[in-house]
Amino acid sequence: MKRLEKQIALVTGGGSGIGKAACKLFASEGAKVAVVDIDFQKASETAEEIHQAGGEACSIKTDVSSKGDVIRMMDRLRETYGDLDILFNNAGTILPGTIEEINENDWDRLININLTSMFLCIKYAIAGLKKTKGKIINMGSMNGLVGQQQNPAYSATKGAIIALTRSLAIDFAPYNVRVNAICPAGVITPLLADWFNRQPDPAQMQRDSDFSHMLGRTASSEEVAQLALYLASSESSFITGQAIPIEGGATLGYGAGP
Ligand code: NAD
């Protein structure tokens, strides 16, 4: 028996990085997966890779910060597969810079993509999730647990996601809907590469990042997807409201790694 047999899963940001790895892993464990991304080409590529591996998936173009898009996405999902069992709110972006450097429009855009998207996706999926006793997994970050220099806006969204997760876990516990957050440190994805490339010396930044993790490296998308799978499966049936770090020891203290 596969771990997500007959489950219906929706993964936002499924066209790249952690979301893509989660879509493929969920499908390999028997889930029917809706791959959601603002970039339809990338979402379709993920769905195609799942089909080629013998799994079941559809791709849906959605800007998760748009109410209209999210409502259409949930309608499409219900028509295609039925009520949702697993909602992985993974899509997100970065806004590096000090508070003096970032402007109000970029701040609003970041809040909309990283945080309002979760409000919308949960609000318009929760009726179905209550019926299925579903699982919600929200993508937080180590930045929601500790601070980071020149990254206050992103950190604020991730801290809010953790607080949202805890409160929703309380509200939905009577329905047996579990809500958890994942808090990775560095994960090798296009998003992290983008962050490094904005620095004066990207290669040095990569080395510094590796050493800030006690295990001496950043994570792969697949390693983080394994935590999402655990939270999506019945193996985590008594875990709710938690913000679970997956950070290679990065929050343990000072040290240069092995
Ligand atoms: P990524 O850039 O590889 O993938 C993000 C995907 O989200 C892309 O396919 C992008 O098109 C999609 N997306 C962006 N805005 C969207 C929108 N408005 N609507 C729909 N889709 C949208 O990034 P990743 O590193 O895989 O990041 C995924 C999540 O993990 C993010 O929430 C990020 O904050 C979080 N995270 C990443 C790291 C890391 O080091 N990479 C660490 C901690 C947390």
> Which range is least confidently modeled, 126-130, 212-216, 219-223, 245-249?
212-216
Q: Is pLDDT at 256 greater than 80 in this prediction?
A: no
pLDDT tens for 244-254 read 999 999 999 87
Q: Does the CB atom of residue 194 touch ligand 1 within 6 A? A: no
- pLDDT attached to residue 163: 98
> Which range is least confidently modeled, 50-54, 124-128, 181-185, 201-205?
201-205
Of 191, 213, 220, the residue with max ligand 1 atoms within 8 A of its CB, to mutate for a pocket test, comes to 191
pLDDT tens for 1-14 read 899 999 999 999 99
Query: What is the percentage of the chain residues whose pLDDT exceeds 90?
Result: 90
- pLDDT attached to residue 253: 82
Expressed in angstroms and rounded, the spacing between residue 35 Cα and the centre of ligand 1 is 13
Q: Is pLDDT at 37 greater than 70 in this prediction?
A: yes
Q: Does the CB atom of residue 134 touch ligand 1 within 6 A? A: no
Q: Is pLDDT at 212 greater than 80 in this prediction?
A: yes
Q: Does the CB atom of residue 106 touch ligand 1 within 6 A? A: no
pLDDT tens for 72-99 read 999 999 999 999 999 999 999 999 999 9
- pLDDT attached to residue 208: 86
Query: Which residues are catalytic, by number?
Result: 154
Rounded to whole angstroms, the Cα distance separating 64 from 255 reads 38
Report field, pTM of the whole predicted structure over 0.90: yes
pLDDT category of residue 255 using cuts at 50, 70 and 90? low
Q: Is pLDDT at 20 greater than 90 in this prediction?
A: yes
Q: Does the CB atom of residue 145 touch ligand 1 within 6 A? A: no
Of 41, 42, 187, the residue with max ligand 1 atoms within 8 A of its CB, to mutate for a pocket test, comes to 187
ipTM value, please give it. Answer: 0.99
Of 24, 88, 146, 189, the residue with max ligand 1 atoms within 8 A of its CB, to mutate for a pocket test, comes to 189
Which atom in ligand 1 lies closest to the alpha carbon of residue 194? 2
Q: Does the CB atom of residue 39 touch ligand 1 within 6 A? A: yes
- pLDDT attached to residue 13: 98
Residues 6+ apart with CB under 8 A from 130: 172, 175, 177
Expressed in angstroms and rounded, the spacing between residue 39 Cα and the centre of ligand 1 is 12
Question: Among 110, 175, 164, which Cα is nearest to 137's?
Answer: 164
pLDDT category of residue 54 using cuts at 50, 70 and 90? very high
Q: Does the CB atom of residue 209 touch ligand 1 within 6 A? A: no
Question: What mean pLDDT do residues 142-169 have?
Answer: 96
Q: Is pLDDT at 31 greater than 70 in this prediction?
A: yes
Rounded to whole angstroms, the Cα distance separating 182 from 49 reads 25
Average pLDDT, the chain: 96
The separation between CA 25 and the C-alpha centre of its own chain, rounded to angstroms, equals 14
Question: What mean pLDDT do residues 133-162 have?
Answer: 97
| DSSP character string of 124-140 | TTHHHHHHHT-EEEEE-
Question: What mean pLDDT do residues 143-158 have?
Answer: 95
Q: Does the CB atom of residue 93 touch ligand 1 within 6 A? A: yes
Judge contact between 222 and 25, C-beta under 8 A. yes
Judge contact between 22 and 229, C-beta under 8 A. yes
